[in-house]
Chain A
Amino acid sequence: MISFEGFTLLILLFILAPIIGAIALLFLFIFEKRIDLLENKNVKIELEKELQQALYNQLNQQIQPHFLFNTLNVILSLARLNRTKELVRALEVLSQFLKFKYKSTEPLISLAREIQYTEQYLEIQKLRFGHRLHITLECADDLLTASIPPFVLQTLVENAFKHGLERKMGDAVLQIHISRQADDVLLVVADNGSVDLAAFEHENGTDSEAEQPHEKSGHGLDNIRRRLHLCFGDHAQLQLESSSEGGTRVIVQWPCIFEHVDVR
């Protein structure tokens, strides 16, 4: 036999059950659209992230042929000059360099690695320029583990040779300075080459004509700008200026992050 307490509990259940049911139904009617909206927003954000990732990967891929053609031109000029010893060394360095390039798929790498690959590229240039080339590379030890999108430094160095130092008579000076500025990393690549900013910018897709997406997609500086923007949004910037002593200075600034992060 059910006791009075048990009976009271059952009656309470019978009375409360439809109240709970009605509240659940009301809740669904009021909040379902909002929940759907939030869900759709999440899907949209996910899709946008995927698109950004795809775009970033595409930009990373584009920088490789840019570098490859420039290096092959360097090697070609060594061959034309019959500098066989340097040519062999250049091919060795290129081989090591390409090994990295095709292995590297991360969206951000450490500065130490980026410097290492840039040094391999510089090795090739040293073979060409010989004692005429003076390179200074300064980087604080604590910044070696900071993250950087791959091929940023290497592309800037490559551009310094292509648009400045190649045409320079006499000593060619390249200065690379990496420092910390508040929460950012500041990278300065300066050369004493001939100043031809217009050609430099055109080549690098920063003039108005080159603003067309297809036009600029293959060019170095614009590629760096877009990758930095994808990674860090408005927190990163790239400036190009002619130095008072002659030559060009490229200044890049981006937030200092010490671990590998998913750019998405």
Chain B
Amino acid sequence: MTYLSFREYVLGAAKIGIGLGAVSILARWVTGNTIFGSPEALVKYGIFGGIGFALMGAVALCFFGLLGRRVRREFSEGMTIGDYLQGKLHPFGYWLMIILLLLTTIEAMFVQGMAGGVLLNILFGLPIPLGLLCFFVFSVLFAGIGGIRSIHRFAIVQIVITFAAAILIPVYFFIGKGVEHVYNGLRLYHPYLLVASNKEGLLFIVTGLLIGFGQVFSDQASWQRLYMMEEKKIVPTFLLSGLIFATVPLAFSSLIIIVIFTGGFDDIYSLMFDLVRKIDSMFLLVLFVLCSFGAIMSAFGAGLHSMISLMVNNVYQLFRPRATERQKIRTGYMLAIMIGAVSFGLTSYFKPTLLDLLFFFGIIYASLILPLIVIVWSRGKASNFILISAVVGQAAGYVSRAFVDPMKAIWIASFATAFFLVGYLSITWLWRRYFRTA
């Protein structure tokens, strides 16, 4: 795939419309996490856990459209979140933010890599390291080397397959088993899933919203998609993407009910294995496998591509301002291979569960929401203290994990950030109003 400029590699040759924009955003956000995380949320927090999982990304995407419109109005010529932040932050704040962004992208790609390896293991009995290697090689080729054109082509196919799976598999199962049987089975084996006043489930929904906002607002791939479309189409595209996105985790969380209504289960991975075994139609099985791989691969690809864009455009170019377009594209290719190798190493070494990982990095996401909103809504350059408040919140969150459960640690992180940020903003407001004018 040949690109004439690095801009074309990052954003494509022409602006995309609402349809392709929504598909591109969905391909980024319908991830391994959506397919495997939503059943996990349902098992842990009841039926409303599944709904909360759907809501967390959907609401965040809808609101990101509003933020995005302002970003585009203020700075329309950028390509990445880094371009915008370069204009809005002082050097210290800029580099701090770049480090935080790289951390969150590595997490996002790590999750997808892990899900891909596990899936290959479940489906084909392939040793996890070999499965991971296949997954990373293919992802680096299609997204890192293929660029945005290849990502968008793959996104359309992936979304068609995802919706086919999300529609056909639940319909097939619920018609085959009968809703009443499923309900009676759940009442017998897992009555806690049917509890309506589940306080922990409610807390999960609210915490999920917090994490979802942080994930979307600091996601480089979503920022990149802001610059791919016309300004007037940003709000409708993100709004529709959010609403359509919510439907996918709902469908996949309903699938797990089919698996557990006939008895107990050992762990979340065995549930996925049971689900695959229960799909007795070959067509639906192939559809499910393709859908899962497509989701994981497209999310990993979008993460990889946006990370390359950020590193070349906002790190490499600052050190090599005279680099030609060809040099930038070549650096991008090299970075793709390097990031693929690092991701392979990380996923081979660490083995957390998806929700564990979500809660661990949720602290970074939750503490980034308010500072990012304040940066976008502040006039001119934003102070370094705004980002320092995020770091303070993250420190408070990680320290508190030793004493409280992971979900509460996320709340502590976001409250600490909010407290520090509001304190700083109040002091600067008072200073401007009463001292500087005097």
Contact = CB atoms under 8 A, between A and B. Distances in A.
Interface of A: 1-2, 4, 6-8, 10-11, 13-15, 17-22, 24-25, 28-29, 32-33, 36
Contacts of A2: 47, 194-196
Contacts of B253: 14
A1 B195 contact: yes
B185 to A, nearest CB: 11
Contacts of B194: 1-2, 7
A28 B163 contact: no
Interface of B: 17-19, 22-23, 26, 47, 50, 159, 163, 166-167, 170-171, 174, 179-180, 182-183, 186, 191, 194-196, 240, 243-248, 250-251, 253-254, 257
Nearest to B180: A4
A18 B250 contact: yes
Nearest to A20: B247
A17, A18, A22, A36: residue with the most chain B Cβ atoms closer than 10 Å: A18
A10 B193 CA distance: 13
Consensus secondary structure, chain A interface? helix
A32 B240 contact: no
A21 B248 contact: yes
12 contacts: A2-B47, A6-B196, A11-B174, A17-B247, A18-B251, A21-B246, A21-B248, A25-B22, A25-B26, A25-B159, A28-B19, A32-B17
Contacts of A17: 246-247, 250-251
Contacts, number: 81
A17 B170 CA distance: 11
A31 to B, nearest CB: 9
A13 B195 CA distance: 18
Contact of A21 (B17, B186, B196, B247): B247
Contact of B163 (A4, A6, A21): A21
A1 B47 CA distance: 11
Given A4-B180, A28-B22, A29-B19, 7 more contacts: A7-B179, A7-B194, A14-B170, A18-B166, A21-B246, A25-B159, A25-B244
A8 B254 CA distance: 12
B174 A15 contact: yes
Given A10-B47, A20-B247, A36 B17 contact: yes
Contact of A24 (B50, B180, B243): B243
Contacts of B170: 14-15, 18
